[in-house]
Amino acid sequence: MDKSDIDLFALRSFCVLMDERSVSRAASRLGLGQSGMSRQLAQLRAYFADPLLVWAGGTMVPTPRALALRDDLRQVVETLERLSSPAQTFDPASTETTVVLAATGYMEHIFLAEVMNAVAACAPGVHVKVRLPDRQQDVSALGRGEIDFLIGWMTNPAPILRSRLLFKDKLVCIARTAHPKLRDGDGLTYEKYLELPHIQYDIPGKTTTERLLQERLSREGHQQNIKYHVQNPLTVAEIVANSDVIATVPGKFAARCHGQFPLQTFDLPFSLPPMQNRAYWHECMHSDARSRWFRRLLVDAAKTR
């Protein structure tokens, strides 16, 4: 017999035969007729080239070969049954795990804080780690399982990624309320936007909004006058509130900052597509119970945006 020609049921039959030492009792336990059970025993004998169980004094006695196989085959059967069983559901109330997200500081401030509050309320053993996105590396990191979700906006996501829209936003410009060059009735003109110094929040690589903004200005031969580059989005709001620099930020972030800093908000003096903030995950994780649970939690949290 071909040594690959054995299946899980045959191995399970061996374990039951070793327990029962009787073809008829083993057949009853497995829901087989006696002839079917005899065929299983014959298959096992051929495969292992050993009688395995022989009649002696009115009962079946295992051979030395069968005794040597017993524990190993029982372990094999238990492992195969576990591997072939349906995937277990994810229980957030009792599971210890860490979910890793890639997101900007803006997204962390306006959205992910609420997500973490939701996690704390329903999943005490689930930890959330947020790291800065790196658009050059994030797709491969999702595939390797180093991050679970990218939260943000990509205009051309990789085909291997799936996504779900969470909420929309738009870019606006913030300035201090007493800005000397924004007191007249003209508001923020295109000329003033180009003239005034800016502060920019930076992450590894360009964000989608930064790239689209630069492309839009460069079509007319212009660029922002960037005076400061910082690593914390709240630093952007604080410096804008206390100086004459301005900043281009997501509208929802600007709305949050109005309660903390003396700021005014302007629409951009040119058009850009609306921001579509999404959750992105790798195709290989689409059916994973843990991933499905966290996606539902993200969508529920986004309903309040």
Higher pLDDT, 42 or 186: 42
8-84 shares its CATH topology with 171-273: no
The fold of the 8-84 domain, in CATH, is Arc Repressor Mutant, subunit A (1.10.10)
> Is the Cα torsion angle 8, 14, 17, 19 positive or negative in sign?
negative
Domain range list for the chain: 8-84, 100-167+276-302, 171-273
User: Residue range 21-43: average pLDDT?
Assistant: 90
Q: How far is CA 207 from CA 35, 63, 258, in A?
A: 69, 70, 24
User: Residue range 234-258: average pLDDT?
Assistant: 96
Q: Are 15 and 77 in contact (CB under 8 A)?
A: yes
The fold of the 171-273 domain, in CATH, is D-Maltodextrin-Binding Protein; domain 2 (3.40.190)
Q: For 100-167+276-302, which CATH superfamily applies?
A: Periplasmic binding protein-like II (3.40.190.10)
Q: How confident is the model at residue 169 (pLDDT cuts 50, 70, 90)?
A: very high
Burial of 239 (0-12, 13-18, 19+ CB in 10 A): middle
**CA dist., res. 37 & res. 45, Å (int):** 12
Q: How confident is the model at residue 1 (pLDDT cuts 50, 70, 90)?
A: very low
Q: What is the pLDDT of residues 80-102, one digit of tens each?
A: 888 776 666 789 999 999 999 99
Q: How confident is the model at residue 7 (pLDDT cuts 50, 70, 90)?
A: confident
User: Residue range 169-192: average pLDDT?
Assistant: 91
Q: Are 261 and 240 in contact (CB under 8 A)?
A: yes
Q: How confident is the model at residue 254 (pLDDT cuts 50, 70, 90)?
A: very high
